[in-house]
Every structure is written in C-alpha cells, then in structure tokens.
A = this chain, B = another copy of it.
Amino acid sequence: MELKSLTEQKSLLAELAPGKRTRLRRLLFEFGPGNGTLMLLPIDQGIEHGPRDFFPNPASKDPDYQFRLAAEAGYSALACQIGMASKYYPDYAGQVPLILKVNGKTDVPSSDQALSTCNAGVEDAVRLGADAVGYTLYVGSPRQDADLAQLRGVREDCERYGMPLVVWAYPRGEAIDKKGGHVSFYAIDYAARMAMEMGADVVKLNMPKIDPEKDKDAPAPYNEMEVDEAEAIRQCVESAGRALVVLSGGSRVDDETVLTHCREVMQAGGTGVIFGRNVWQREWSEALEIIAQIKETLLSNVRRTP
C-alpha cells in the first residue's frame, strides 16, 4: 500500500494565542538560523544517561561548554533541566532562548514501564525567562495513564502563561517493543500524532528506522508497507499536523548522516533539528563547523511557513 500526502499545513503561528506566538516567533525568527527554522541544543543527557555522554569530549562535562556553544554559535534555543537552568543559564540569559525541560529520569532502571515525572513546572520556566517548555511523553508505555494526566497539567499551565509546549514524543515501553520497537515507522508515526492530539506546539521525533524484519510485528498496514526513510519521516511529519516537527539526533553518527537527516526532515515539511551529542561531543572548533553546515542545510531546505 502506498500513501500520498495530500495536505499542506496551515500556519501554526497564526493559530497561537499571543504569548505562545511571541515566544515561539522568537525562536523561529529572532534567534538561530531564522527564517522559520529551529536549531535546538539539548543538554538533558546528564540526567537521561549520566555523565558518560560527556566522556568523548571532556570539556562538555562542564555545562558551561554547551551553554557557551548555544550562545556563540547562534542557536534557536537550548533545552535543559531545572538545575542547569538555575545555575548556568543566568550567564547567558538574553543571549540564547531557553527551553525548560520539565520532566526527566535516569536510565538506570529498565524502560519497560517508562514514565518521566515532572521535576519542574511552567512557572519555573516563566520565572527563569524561558521561551518554551519541554516535556517527554512516552507514547505507548504501560504507564501512559499517569503520563497523559501529567502532560495535561503542563499543557494547561502553558496555556495559562502563553508558553509554547515542545513534546519529546518517544515511543517506549514493553508493549511497543513487541510491536516492532520504538524506532519503527509505526511507533514514530503514532508518537507524532499523539503529541499533536495532546496539544504540542512543537514535536520532537526520532528518525524512523525501516527494518522489514521487525516491522512485521507492527499492526497493519505498517507490517507490510514498503517505504524508505525519507517517505517515513514525511509521513510522520504529516501526522504531527499543524504542530512543528524537529528531528532528534540520538547518539553520534558521521557528518554525512547528520546532514542527510537535516535535509530529509526539512523536505518532509519539518521545521528543524535538535542534535546534542552529534554537536557537543566535538571539540569547540569542530563543533562550530558542523553547526554551520547544519544551519546552511536547514535554511536551504525550508519547505514550510510555521
């Protein structure tokens, strides 16, 4: 079965209430590459994986490294948890927008029943001068009952304060593992839709991986669709509807793959990328170099007006 994309999304900004519009516009046009794109720097690996992610580039163990990088290289925003937003962001306030990530967890226990509870709130974001709030939703986790209820509270507060809501839409948990795994097209596509349905303004997605063997376990018709990576990400972006999509990077890959992903998400109608380890696991000048290439790739592949 082949799918055809029939829609072109309407402007998201045009629908948003003033507070959300003001803040999101700042990320899309005033900071970063601009022109309606998003180049985001995530620094939540210290909580999600522990310090081990910083070892390839010891300088990165000091959060100041990433903060400085985000400010000097001209990012649309950086995303981190409350502790660093409180102790490191003040030095860069006004130089780069902040996305306060309000939930998180260690990866020490298994993620069979994944749930990230909130360690901060939208009021913290307001107080710290953040321009958006980030929330990790584990789509399909057996604990989705608690997750969706918690997200509701964050969404409501985002509406109350005019704060854009960025949802890290991650398929996770023992149930998704049995249906083809958490990076399958089926899983990412579902996650994109869920995030949009739950009120996300921006959705962070992982690149779907096509694996014909595993995909057989996915529900129909995913179990017998033949799509390539580019088509899969295009479908996923479409599933997010009017919500903007940024592509997540994951662990470090080679430069060509980084840039291919940038191209693919933009051509799929996405708005940008959120690459962490692929950037700050590099030494300073090397990091600046790949960032420049990412920027250029984003800007030269813009398809959508946000």
Contacts and interface: CB of A to CB of B under 8 A. Distances in A.
A236 to B, nearest CB: 9
Nearest to A174: B109
Interface residues of A, number: 86
Nearest to A46: B193
A144 B84 CA distance: 20
B52 A108 contact: no
Contact of A200 (B83, B88, B108, B145): B83
A18 interface: no
Nearest to A238: B61
B15 A87 contact: yes
A285 interface: no
A163 interface: no
A173 B108 contact: yes
A129 interface: no
A62 B193 contact: no
A253 interface: no
Counted per complex, copies of this chain come to: 5
A122 B141 CA distance: 26
B7 A108 contact: no
Interface in A96-141: 104-106, 108-110, 115-121, 124, 139-141
B1 A55 contact: yes
B106 A144 contact: yes
A50 B3 CA distance: 15
B52 A83 contact: no
A87 B242 contact: yes
A239 B50 CA distance: 9
A52 B221 contact: yes
A277 to B, nearest CB: 14
A105 B3 contact: no
A119 B106 contact: no
Nearest to A103: B148
Nearest to A179: B108
Interface in A149-195: 149, 151-152, 155-156, 171, 173, 175-176, 179, 186, 189-190, 192-195
Given A3-B58, A105-B148, 5 more contacts: A3-B55, A15-B86, A84-B196, A84-B241, A121-B156
